Amino acid sequence: MVTTTARDSDLASALVQTMHRLQDLHAETSRPLGLTPQQAHLLCVLISGPLGMTELSRILSIERSSLTSMVDRLERRDLVARVASPTDRRACRIELTAAGKDLAHQCHDAVVDRIRDLTSELPAATRQTLTKALQSILAQ
Amino acid sequence: MVTTTARDSDLASALVQTMHRLQDLHAETSRPLGLTPQQAHLLCVLISGPLGMTELSRILSIERSSLTSMVDRLERRDLVARVASPTDRRACRIELTAAGKDLAHQCHDAVVDRIRDLTSELPAATRQTLTKALQSILAQ
DNA sequence: TATTGTTATACTCTATAACTATA
DNA sequence: TATAGTTATAGAGTATAACAATA
């Protein structure tokens, strides 16, 4: 039987290429805001609230020691602040400053806008299917 | 009208999160092979044939000067080779050595396997829709 | 003059290992 | 003893600017 059925590797390949495309897009939107993609990611993760170093390193998938220097650089620019934990004197919480919050939202909005452009030509039903499929992948 | 219609930002958010997930997965598959994700990307791009520095830098979205040092490191490990262009004495072609070709295929296969695991629970029709949607995004 | 690629430099990202302070 | 976070160190990724050689 010969059909136009997609192979597994077509989906894998499409996903990998999409990843690279989105990475580029992410870099292009961060840069004019004076941020590396990694810094933009960190700031955006903090939008939903302050986090400790250990939890933040887990979310960003980097070692705590790597995070220390990232936070140092952002703190020097007054985009984040280390706040002492009231309950654990070893720990601190990283939180966005007012300037950091503003920049984080700019990053977030810029990326969402760019992606909206990329996906705007898809039919609504396809967008729906795409969204649900990706969410189910992410839920694993 | 109140429905469960997904917002644009849900799709954008799902795409961004998928990007991060795939980045992690890519890093996890490259690392045991002794490669950074960027090195793995470079090797995989060369699977389809040798490329000049300028074209390779365009494909990887990095400056040529950044690429020079990446190629230096890979060449020192005998994974790629600089071959003089026969037609342009300024230019060179970067090509995979036998070891580089082997490693590139290992990288490629490892990523495809991991992604297949991620997507294996989706219905065939959804996989098809997903693949076509991503391909149409990439075609832009 | 324009293009190909490299060199020099500076900064960021990242991991590993060893460490301090607190729980 | 275990955990939170930092320091020290080394290597890799990246951009900018200036450069050499060739087209």
SS (H, E, C) B74-104: HHHCCCEEEEECCCCCCCEEEEECHHHHHHH
Beta strand residue intervals within A6-99, DSSP E: 51-52, 80-84, 92-96
Q: What is the pLDDT of residue B8?
A: 76
Asked if the Cβ of residue B62 lies within 7 A of any atom of strand D, the reply is yes
Residue B65 makes CB contacts below 8 A (sequence gap 6+) with none
- Residue spans of chain A under pLDDT 50: 3
Q: How far apart are CA B74 and CA B90, in angstroms?
A: 21
CA distance B85 to chain A (A): 29
Q: Is the pLDDT of residue B3 over 70?
A: no
- Predicted pLDDT at A5: 62
Q: Cβ of residue B66 near strand D, that is under 7 Å? A: yes
pLDDT value at position B6?
A: 65
**CATH class for the domain made up of B30-119:** mainly alpha
Partner-chain contact A119 B137, CB within 8 Å: yes
Share of chain B above pLDDT 90, in %: 93
Q: What per-residue confidence (pLDDT) applies to B5? A: 62
B121 touches strand D (CB under 7 A): no
Strand D proximal residues, B:16-45, Cβ < 7 Å:
36, 38-39
| Nucleotide closest to A64 measured between CA and C1' | D5
How do residues A5-22 score in pLDDT, each as one tens digit? 667 789 999 999 999 999
**The pLDDT value given to residue B9:** 81
pLDDT digits (tens, 9 = 90+) for B54-107: 999 999 999 999 999 999 999 999 999 999 999 999 999 999 999 999 999 999
CB B88 within 8 A of CB B81: no
* Contact: B129, A131; criterion CB under 8 Å: no
- Cα separations in angstroms, B107 against A62, B29, B43, B99, B135: 21, 7, 9, 12, 22
Residue A16 CB contacts under 8 Å (≥ 6 apart), including other chains: B22, B26, B111, B115
CB atoms within 10 A of CB A21: 18
